[in-house]
Amino acid sequence: MATNREREAERDLDIREKQIRDREIMARKLAEWDDDIEADRGQEEYYKDRSRWWFHRQQFRARELAMDEADRLREQQEIELEQHRLQTLEEERKQREEAMEAELNNEKEILTLATNGTSQNNSVKPKLTLNLASKRRAALMAPAEDEEFDDEEGIESKRKRRILVPLEYSDNEDDENKTEERKKKIKELVATIPTDKEGLWNWNVKWEELDENILSKKLQPFVSKKIVEYLGVQEDELVSFVIDHLRNKKPAEDLTKEMMMTLDEESELFVKKLWRMLIFETESKTRKI
């Protein structure tokens, strides 16, 4: 197809050059034209045989009109093809943007990771407590049990005897409330994190909160998972490159450009997701969520 287009372009160029030369020749000829002299010479068909000249002239005009019509149709087809191409590109761009927005607005990944962290770190722990009702029952039962000690040894034993209070496990409501409060704060934080490139790129990242724990346990698994989704294979060197980029506190725009060679059009979407994750983790640490 490329070769055919080149040949057509060369052919069109040759035709245009010939038309220019013909116009120049005709312009010089007409500038010096003298009807009386040409009539006396009788070399031109117009003067020798007018009807024959007219016949040839009609054929020539018909070919010119046909060529003009063919050019017009070809130009129209090219315009329509270009419009269709641009329309297709625009539709594809809109579809990509919609997909990006839908994926970026889906907070499931962040909330899942955050909720998992909540479940592991702040799960409600059973607390060893004294059951007051059991304590009272034990106190009331103590005299009845001691009635069998009717001798002095029994009385002395009763004095020394301690009342054993049964111990029971119960859920601490304060821990449950703290867990629910933390989940609420997580959702509120996620809602404040932008989804558009400009908002993410201009976010004042709390780099001082980014430590090796966040890099290795939060961001590295996230990066590894996404790269496998995009490329279909695990690229440890690429994962390390991304993590080093974050460790060196480089901007998102630079990372997007670097990833273009590997992820192409998906580079921006990948960095958007990563930057949302980065913002979430550093803000969570800052706010002590």
Mean pLDDT of the chain: 78
Q: Which domain holds residue 249?
A: 193-287
Q: What band does 173 get if pLDDT is binned at 50, 70 and 90?
A: low
pLDDT, position 141:
45
Number of domains composing the chain = 2
Whether 169 is covered by a domain: the verdict is no
Q: How far apart are CA 151 and CA 273, in angstroms?
A: 81
Residue 142 in this model has a pLDDT that exceeds 50: no
Cα separations in angstroms, 194 against 75, 179, 255, 279: 46, 25, 18, 10
The backbone torsions φ and ψ at residue 149, rounded to the nearest 5 degrees and listed phi first, read -90, 90
Residue at token pair 């130009």: 75
Residue 143 forms part of a structural domain = no
> Quick one: what percent of the chain has pLDDT higher than 70?
73
Would you place residue 272 in the very low, low, confident or very high pLDDT band (cuts 50, 70, 90)? very high
pLDDT per position as a tens digit, 216-262: 999 999 999 988 888 888 888 999 999 999 999 999 999 999 998 88
Is residue 157 assigned to a domain? no
CB 262 within 8 A of CB 231: yes
Q: Classify residue 154: in a domain, yes or no.
A: no
> Vertex 243, ends 238 and 246: CA angle to 5°?
130
pLDDT score at 96: 79
Burial letters 37-63, b for 16+ CB under 10 A, else e: eeeeeeeeeeeeeeeeeeeeeeeeeee
Q: 18-45 pLDDT, tens per residue?
A: 989 989 998 988 888 888 887 777 778 8
Write down which residue in 80, 108, 136 finishes a domain: 108
Is 200 a member of any domain?
yes
Last residue of a domain, one of 108, 142, 176: 108
**DSSP designation for 168:** E
In a domain, 148, yes or no: no
How many Cβ atoms are within 10 Å of 269's Cβ, its own excluded? 20
CA 179 to centroid of chain Cα atoms: 31
Tokens of 35: 């009807």
Q: Per-residue pLDDT tens for 46-78?
A: 878 888 888 888 998 899 899 899 989 999 999
Check which CATH number belongs to the domain holding 260 and give it: 1.20.1390.10
For residue 205, tell me if it sits in a domain: yes
> Residue 32: what pLDDT?
83
Q: Of 108, 132, 162, which marks where a domain is finished?
A: 108
Is residue 167 within a helix (H) or strand (E), and if so which, with residue range?
strand 167-170
pTM for this model (two decimals): 0.47
CA dihedral 196→198→200→206, nearest 10 degrees, is -160
**Residues in a beta bridge with 128:** 169
Q: What mean pLDDT do residues 144-173 have? A: 45
Q: Quick check: is 278 in a domain? A: yes
Residue 124: pLDDT band with limits 50, 70, 90 = very low
